[in-house]
Amino acid sequence: QQQVKQSPQSLIVQKGGISIINCAYENTAFDYFPWYQQFPGKGPALLIAIRPDVSEKKEGRFTISFNKSAKQFSLHIMDSQPGDSATYFCAASIAGANSKLTFGKGITLSVRP
């Protein structure tokens, strides 16, 4: 049973456009929702994260929107740039669970110049 599901599977966006990646989760005990970004040849790195006590968190061009009742959260990348081309993973964890993350399958974002 896949506990964290990402959509779409891949995404192509024009430079300057908005990239939107969605994530749905099953386990209502999850209470930490990070997004990781991975460039080719590198390990994933934390991009932005949210706790369920807020509905939105913004850091620069990156925003997480969180909908607790729908058990969904999404990543919005405003003014997408070719340098944003990477693989994006959503994840979820439960406090006190030794920081163990459950990852989605990842999506590849390509931003066309």
Contact segment (CB under 8 A) with another protein among 17-25, 44-52, 66-74, 78-86 equals 44-52
29 near another protein (CB under 8 A) = no
Q: What is the per-residue DSSP string for 62-105?
A: EEEEEETTTTEEEEEESS--GGG-EEEEEEEB-TTSTT--EE--
Q: Which of 32, 71, 72, 110 binds another protein (CB under 8 A)?
A: 32
Task: Please report whether residue 44 would count as binding another protein according to CB under 8 A.
Answer: yes
CA 2 to chain centre: 16
Contact between 104 and another protein by CB under 8 A: the answer reads yes
